[in-house]
Amino acid sequence: MIQAKQTPLADWHRSHGGKMVEFAGYEMPIRYEGVLAEHRRVRHQCGMFDVSHMGELEVRGGAARAEVHRLVTNDVASLEPGQVVYTAMCNEAGGVLDDLLVYCLSDEVFWLVCNAANHSKISAWVEGHLGAGARMEDRSEATALFALQGPRVREVLEKWPRLSGHLGRVLGLEYYRAAQVDLEGIELLVSRTGYTGELGFEVYLPASQAPEIWEEIVEAGASCGLAPIGLGARDTLRLEAGYSLYGHELDETTLPYEAGIGWVVRPRAGEFVGRDALLQAKEAGISRRTVGLEVEGRHIPRQNAAVLAGGEVVGHVTSGGFSPTLESGIGLARIAVGLGDAPLSVDIRGKQVPAERVKLPFVPSHVKD
């Protein structure tokens, strides 16, 4: 059996009550004080996630911009240094290979941040598809990533002593903007991004400095309600925010349009892998789409549960769970188009439970607060 990899903080998680599970080949904390408490902490105060398992691929060179643009569906050609964009990477058929963030660090340096589960696939794909004038370096092993999320994160950053000289620049970041910070010789990349629907920042840093910096932020944030948050709450938070998760809403047989992330496809911005197939699909019209559902009563829809309309199966749940904010069962579902307002139900262990279509996100977004 292959030994699960560890982030630089695995020992810290274990010694601070983290319940560890294997996720995407990494040993990761699923929870500390409990998923519900952690979820509410992020919604009302703030929390910090160790997401160092994510993959960071650096593409640099004179042709880096053009080459990265050609590999993803969103517009990289017009990104300014310090700008971040959420995008899909598709195969020739328009199926989603992964969803990722692209950071424009300079005109010739771009970072692609991919899911841990897709890391080796994406790394090989990028390497294999890059043309002349750009080369890729996998920075994942050397890079740690912390996500600070919640309404009180600005207070935490204000109380982090070593950040004081850079505070104006970091706190001044707009949504999906990033700043490189030299923290006494430690290079940080800080961005106004996240996966919870709350105000938040993500901090990329050298793996070797991760335990030291983590401890500093934990200490700085103690009086602001900051605590470590596990992957369990990361999932309930992203589901309430209506965000897609690879392997659930997204996979290689699903088009971005069908997964509810059609807005990341920018055919007018230039050529990219999968563009022809996606243009064709858009013109022909898609047959499935992704919707938010809230089920009645004390039931929870789970992934793969059938969705029914008029007694017929019209799709299935791609992500489901309990919403701690709404205190009800919610889910994202991929269903046939053209159902109109036909009442839907979800098959939950043989019982047809009425489900209401809900506009996404399930809870109000605070990312731009």
Partner 1 sequence: MRPEDRKYSPQHEWVRPDGDTMVIGITDHAADELGDIVFLELPEEGAELAPGDSLGTIETVKAVEELYTPVGGVVVEVNGAVVDHPEKVNEAPFDHGWLVKLRPDGSELETLMDAAAYDAMVDGD
Q: Which residues bind partner 1 (CB under 8 A)?
A: 31, 34-37, 232, 236, 298-300, 302, 321-322, 324, 349
Q: State the nearest-atom distance from the C-beta of 33 to partner 1, in Å.
A: 10
Q: State the nearest-atom distance from the C-beta of 36 to partner 1, in Å.
A: 4
Residues 6+ apart with CB under 8 A from 46: 148, 149, 150, 151, 152, 153, 155, 156, 198, 221, 224, 225, 226
Using the minimum distance from each CB to partner 1, give the nearer residue, 292 or 324: 324
Using the minimum distance from each CB to partner 1, give the nearer residue, 34 or 81: 34
Cβ atoms 318, 332 nearer than 8 A:
yes
Q: State the nearest-atom distance from the C-beta of 300 to partner 1, in Å.
A: 5
Q: State the nearest-atom distance from the C-beta of 203 to partner 1, in Å.
A: 27
Look-up of token digits 């944030």: 221
Q: State the nearest-atom distance from the C-beta of 298 to partner 1, in Å.
A: 4
Q: Which two tokens stand for residue 304?
A: 């793969």
Q: State the nearest-atom distance from the C-beta of 328 to partner 1, in Å.
A: 10
H helices of 143-295, in order, are 153-158, 167-171, 210-221, 231-240, 275-284
CA angle (204, 368, 40) in 5-degree steps: 75
Using the minimum distance from each CB to partner 1, give the nearer residue, 71 or 307: 307
Using the minimum distance from each CB to partner 1, give the nearer residue, 17 or 62: 17
Using the minimum distance from each CB to partner 1, give the nearer residue, 43 or 299: 299
Q: Is 286 helix (H, G, I), strand (E, B) or coil?
A: coil
Cα separation, 158 vs 145, in Å, equals 19
Q: Which two tokens stand for residue 190?
A: 């800080």
Using the minimum distance from each CB to partner 1, give the nearer residue, 230 or 242: 230
